[in-house]
Structure 1
Amino acid sequence: MDREAVGTADLGRLHVEVREHGRSAIFTPSGELDHHTAELLSGPMADAMDTGISRLVVDCGSLAFCDSTGLNVLLGARLRAEQMGGGVHLAAMQPTVSRVFEITGAEAVFTLHDTLDQALQE
Structure 2
Amino acid sequence: MTTEPSVQAKTTGTSLIVQVSGDMDWETTPLLREHLLDELARSQGHMVLDMSAVPFCDSAGLNVLLWIWRKAAEAGTVLVLACVPLKVQRMLAMTGMDTVLRAYDSVAAAEEARPGRGGA
Instruction: State the distance in 1 between where 2:47 and 2:28 align.
Output: 19
Instruction: State the distance in 2 between where 1:54 and 1:67 align.
Output: 28
CA contact (8 A) 2:69 2:79 kept: yes
Instruction: State the distance in 2 between where 1:108 and 1:44 align.
Output: 25
Instruction: State the distance in 2 between where 1:42 and 1:24 align.
Output: 20
Pairwise CA distance, 1:90: 0.5
Q: TM-score, normalised by structure 1?
A: 0.79
For residue 81 of structure 1, the aligned residue among 64, 72, 77 is: 72
Aligned residue in 2 for 1:44 = 35
Instruction: State the distance in 2 between where 1:43 and 1:117 align.
Output: 26
Paired residues, number:
112
Aligned residue in 2 for 1:16 = 7
Q: State percent identity of aligned pairs.
A: 30
Structure 2 gap ranges (5+): 115-120
Residues 62-104 of structure 1, C-alpha deviation per residue, up to 9 Å, x if partnerless?
A: 2111111111111111111112222211001111111110111
Instruction: State the distance in 2 between where 1:64 and 1:52 align.
Output: 25
Aligned residue in 1 for 2:63 = 72
CA contact (8 A) 1:18 1:28 kept: yes
Instruction: State the distance in 2 between where 1:87 and 1:110 align.
Output: 10
| Cα RMSD for the two superposed structures | 1.9
Structure 1 gap ranges (5+): 1-10
